[in-house]
Structure 1
Amino acid sequence: MPVPPPPKHAQEDQAKWAAVFSMSLCVAMLIASEFMPVSLLTPIAASLGATSGQTGQAVSISGLFAVATSLFIATAAGRMDRKVVLVGLTAVMLASLVIVAMAPSFTVLMVGRALLGVAVGGFWSLATSIIMRLVPEASVPRALGMMYGGQAIAAAFAAPLGSYLGDLVGWRGIFWALAPLVAVNLVWHLVALPSLPTHQRQSLRSFRVLLARPHFRTGLVAITFTWGSAFTMFTYLRPFLETLEGVDVQTLSLLLLTLGAAGFIGSALSGRIGTGRVERILALPAVVMGGTTALLLLTENSLVAIGVLLAIWGAMNTAMSVIWMSWMSRVVDDMPETAGALMVATMQAAILLGGVFGGLLLDRFSVDASFVGSVLLALAAIAVIGRGNRLRAPTGQV
């Protein structure tokens, strides 16, 4: 007998999760593209005649353009179907990879990285609000965990593969290898994403409305310190590891793989966040990541201890985004696109400042100074968040 087709609601559910998977792949490509220079920092600098600190700004410049794009993408897109916007942003990412791979100079490299920032800022500012439209409210944390699973995939494989393969085929070959994957993702968007029309035009006034809420403003300050701490350290992880005795290319790749693979654990655990008060755990990323960064400075002679600490850091790095975006989906669910734009702008600004701050400390003092700066920013984040009471939405506001 012929097998009956699944019920219509089951088909709709499958289609929704296929769209979430498509966004997860886009996250993986964005993260791999944005932070690939971290694992290739030294060879890129040598090839283009720049210092490691200057080349670290290749991460920072994408953050600068991501900030601007995240603030204005929803307003600029107006009532345009959000599916069309995501497809267009993926095409911009593809163009960026080609420009970087062909870059004859540091200036052209930075142009390509600026285009990537446009894709990053546009995607992230809309991503959470789109997830909220794709799945039921109760499934939002799970869907966010799945989407940020793409971050775990990129962290697990992009950095170590970039470090290892870059030694074999050169750093340009790595960016060329990413281009066809992004092209496949673009096609998947076209197939899997449903039409996502929007009936309201976002105005700049909505930013003022949202920023008038004290708990959200406090959250943005906490995000600045939390992400700034993470990327003051992470941007300069390879130079730090290269100062350790016994770390060759293979060992470096293994350590980066350990950090990235642990992201799967962070993604799985953070996706299980319930409907309780997520503000209670908002300080956890700063506590764990700041603590592990401090311990890295104290265990420079033990590669095993460093591997364990990087695994802990990597797990929390993935969980960090899910935790904060879950908080956003609950406390400002009446203005998700505006909240997403402001949060992504703040995160990208913090990545930018973290890269600049860490680079200045590295060039002026040492890579250890960059890690100390990261710890200090983590302490500032913990002080702002406290027990999370100031980040709780007043009853009846959302």
Structure 2
Amino acid sequence: MPFAVYLLGLAVFAQGTSEFMLSGLVPGIARDLHVSIPAAGLLTSAFAAGMVVGAPLMAVLSLRLSRRSALLTFLVVFLLVHVVGALTTSYEVLLVTRVLAALANAGFLAVAMATAIGLAPPDAKGRATSILLGGVTIACVAGVPGGALLGELWGWRSAFWAVAIALVPAIVAVLKSVPAARGVRESGARDELRALRRPRLLVLLALGALVNGGTFCTFTYLAPLLTEVSGIGTAWLPGMLALFGLGSFAGVTIGGRIADVRPTLLLVVGGPALVTGWALFAASAGALVPAVVLVFVQGTLSFAVGSTLISQVLYAATDAPTLAGGFATAAFNVGAALGPWLGGVVIGAGFGFRAPVWVSAGLVAAALAVAAAAHLLPRLTPRLAPADLPSDPAPGPGRPPV
């Protein structure tokens, strides 16, 4: 795998830290800015909403630039809005900075996915995707708990400053290592959009949104769940977030290795296991040992299934890599916006901090229902056969899933 792909993963790590670190900072932000826990949790939804809108929009705009220029532009904007976020005393301003950061992050991820799969061998899109998502999971392992620790020591603003500083080497790395002209497309956005009108692709995007919604619904409120329900002290919270991140890293590693060879096997086994795990987590959250175990297990399952769905989107739209990356980012962040919102609704309704975990189970169960319908519907309507789940490839080198 080209070294530039790993450097893109470094940049994704810095941005992933920003996207996920609020899970450990929600209580501090709520106290400092005098808002409720659900309102602070909506900062994650605002970021996700910006990703939903920004991913396809920024992907289209980036087609006019070289990929290196687009990546650098998005990273610089991301850095600047974090400086503003670290300085503001207004919840509303912080909310706006999260949306702007999300627009930049969405554009970066769309272009980074296209760049990574362009640099990787044609039968290794799953591995390239897992390297980028590995940056996200490393953020869960190191960045998110580190942000929570900074929040405990010096307040939540210090985490925003840390993200801004971490982006500096990422900018230098992209400038030095990503080819300036690589991936510039001759076809326009209209040609790529035509390539995305495929039922199978739409099903994959819907599955990704639902699975990611389940992940974010619980992850956003993981800190109050563990401290208020499981009885874990705040001093142990960074370690618990790191445990989720370790599971996530294991998940993308497993997903990256299997997604290029046996994607259906992973999805058919991992999907039901994921919904079962969320239900067990909700039921046993009051017991310390099951909570600790399931934090790791659910991190693994969530990212193994999620990364496989992303790679299958890229396989399903090889002739539209930039917009496929943009729409994959948008779909997954539809879930990232929907999940925390639903979690906040059930908490605000008085159902307690276990309720988001039950919502996570419901969202993944809905994904299983959509997948089952996509599998059965072509039997009744043959013209919709492409909407079926991805098939595992026949043995043979270099043959991607179809």
In the alignment, the residues of structure 1 paired with residue 333 and residue 41 of structure 2 have an alpha-carbon distance, to the nearest angstrom, of: 15
Read off the aligned partner of 1:222 and give its amino acid letter: L
- SS across alignment from 2:258: coil
TM-aligned CA distance change 1:372 to 1:246, over 3 Å: closer
1:387 to partner: Cα distance:
9.5
Partner of 1:12: none
Q: Deviations over 1:91-149 (max 9, x none)?
A: 11111211111111101111211111112211222232211111211333222222222
Count of residues in correspondence between the two structures:
382
Tell me the C-alpha RMSD between the 2 structures: 2.4
In the alignment, the residues of structure 2 paired with residue 160 and residue 385 of structure 1 have an alpha-carbon distance, to the nearest angstrom, of: 34
In the alignment, the residues of structure 2 paired with residue 387 and residue 248 of structure 1 have an alpha-carbon distance, to the nearest angstrom, of: 44
Give the unaligned 5+ runs of structure 1. Answer: 1-15
Read off the aligned partner of 2:315 and give its amino acid letter: R
Identity of aligned residues (%): 28
Contact 2:45 2:340 in 1 (8 A): yes
**Higher mean C-alpha deviation, range 197-206 or range 264-273:** 197-206
Partner of 1:8: none
Match of 2:20 among 31, 35, 39: 35
In the alignment, the residues of structure 2 paired with residue 23 and residue 284 of structure 1 have an alpha-carbon distance, to the nearest angstrom, of: 30
- SS across alignment from 1:384: helix
Contact 1:164 1:249 in 2 (8 A): no
TM-score by length of 1: 0.89
TM-aligned CA distance change 1:209 to 1:333, over 3 Å: closer
1:182 to partner: Cα distance:
0.6
Contact 2:21 2:145 in 1 (8 A): no
In the alignment, the residues of structure 1 paired with residue 241 and residue 291 of structure 2 have an alpha-carbon distance, to the nearest angstrom, of: 11
Contact 1:40 1:162 in 2 (8 A): yes
Partner of 1:153: 138
TM-aligned CA distance change 1:138 to 1:205, over 3 Å: closer
Is residue 2:365 matched to residue 1:379? yes
Match of 2:320 among 308, 331, 335: 335
In the alignment, the residues of structure 2 paired with residue 321 and residue 17 of structure 1 have an alpha-carbon distance, to the nearest angstrom, of: 24
TM-aligned CA distance change 1:301 to 1:360, over 3 Å: closer
Contact 1:282 1:388 in 2 (8 A): no
TM-aligned CA distance change 1:279 to 1:126, over 3 Å: farther
Contact 2:74 2:108 in 1 (8 A): yes
Q: Deviations over 1:158-182 (max 9, x none)?
A: 2322222311111111211221111
Contact 1:64 1:352 in 2 (8 A): yes
Partner of 1:293: 278
Partner of 1:142: 127
TM-aligned CA distance change 1:235 to 1:274, over 3 Å: closer
1:327 to partner: Cα distance:
1.1
**Higher mean C-alpha deviation, range 43-52 or range 366-375:** 366-375
In the alignment, the residues of structure 1 paired with residue 322 and residue 212 of structure 2 have an alpha-carbon distance, to the nearest angstrom, of: 20
Partner of 1:314: 299
In the alignment, the residues of structure 2 paired with residue 345 and residue 50 of structure 1 have an alpha-carbon distance, to the nearest angstrom, of: 28
Q: How do 1:158-169 and structure 2 match up within 5 A?
A: 158-169=143-154
Contact 1:36 1:159 in 2 (8 A): yes
Partner of 1:234: 219
Is residue 2:193 matched to residue 1:207? yes
1:379 to partner: Cα distance:
0.5
Q: How do 1:38-117 and structure 2 match up within 5 A?
A: 38-117=23-102
1:274 to partner: Cα distance:
5.9
1:245 to partner: Cα distance:
5.2
TM-aligned CA distance change 1:273 to 1:108, over 3 Å: same
Give the unaligned 5+ runs of structure 2. Answer: 376-387, 394-400
TM-aligned CA distance change 1:65 to 1:300, over 3 Å: closer
Is residue 2:355 matched to residue 1:369? yes
In the alignment, the residues of structure 1 paired with residue 153 and residue 260 of structure 2 have an alpha-carbon distance, to the nearest angstrom, of: 47
In the alignment, the residues of structure 1 paired with residue 83 and residue 43 of structure 2 have an alpha-carbon distance, to the nearest angstrom, of: 15
Q: Deviations over 1:349-384 (max 9, x none)?
A: 221111211111111122222221111111110111
In the alignment, the residues of structure 2 paired with residue 253 and residue 76 of structure 1 have an alpha-carbon distance, to the nearest angstrom, of: 38
Read off the aligned partner of 1:369 and give its amino acid letter: A
TM-score by length of 2: 0.88
Q: Following TM superposition, where does structure 1 have runs of at least 4 consecutive aligned residues deviating by more than 4 angstroms?
A: none
